[in-house]
Structure 1
Amino acid sequence: MANTPQAEKRIRRNDRRAEINKARVSRIRTFVKKCESSIAAGEPVAAAAALAAAQPEMMRGVAKGVFHKNTVSRKISRLAKRAKALQTA
């Protein structure tokens, strides 16, 4: 339990930030799932469009401190690799 007014304020602030971060992570996951589903369906144009929409969202998550930069870079790289393989096939 918080003993000082500042500790109480930090608890309130942390709760607000947790809600915002949770929404941001959920939004990013939705974009990634759209990209993965279009890759799985074998639609190269839709996969490229979904990847183009997912990339800035994922990098925004990095900028906001929700994800680590290397994690997002790795995920984008893997998605791009799969999307490109779909276009060449």
Structure 2
Amino acid sequence: MPNIKSAKKRVLIAEVRNARNKAAKSELKTAIKKFEAAAAEGNRTEADGAYKVAVKKVDQAVAKGILHKNTAAHRKSAMTLKLNKIG
């Protein structure tokens, strides 16, 4: 445990940010899994809705610094290809 006041504060801030990042990352994973499930079923209308939500969550993760922008682009591209294959 830190002894210096500023170090104690940094520990508290790190805990809050860690919890926020975990929540955002779990939301992201859930959105992507829902899209994957809809795409696997072949349900185009359900997949369209899930795709929009998943892309939004990926973009929010980039804005929060959870994902790198190139990783986000890669994931969005892969989801778009899957969506287009449903036809």
Fold match by TM threshold 0.5: yes
**In 2: Cα distance, 1:44 partner to 1:81 partner:** 13
Structure 2 unaligned runs (5+)? none
Which of structure 1's runs of 4+ aligned residues deviate more than 6 A?
Answer: none
Q: Secondary structure at the match of 1:66?
A: coil
Letter in 1 for 2:15: D
Q: How many residues align?
A: 87
Provide the alpha-carbon RMSD of the alignment.
Answer: 0.8
Aligned partner of 1:81 in structure 2 is: 81
Aligned partner of 1:46 in structure 2 is: 46
When normalised by structure 2's length, the TM-score is: 0.95
Aligned partner of 2:59 in structure 1 is: 59
Letter in 2 for 1:16: V
Deviation per residue, 1:55-85 (Å, 9 max, x gap): 1111011000011111111001001101111
Structure 1 unaligned runs (5+)? none
Q: Does 1:10 align with 2:10?
A: yes
**In 1: Cα distance, 2:47 partner to 2:57 partner:** 16
Letter in 1 for 2:23: A
Q: Report deviation, 1:41.
A: 0.7
**In 1: Cα distance, 2:2 partner to 2:56 partner:** 38
**In 2: Cα distance, 1:26 partner to 1:70 partner:** 20
Following superposition of structure 1 onto structure 2, how do residues 31-42 of structure 1 map, counting pairs within 5 Å?
Answer: 31-42=31-42
**In 2: Cα distance, 1:72 partner to 1:48 partner:** 18
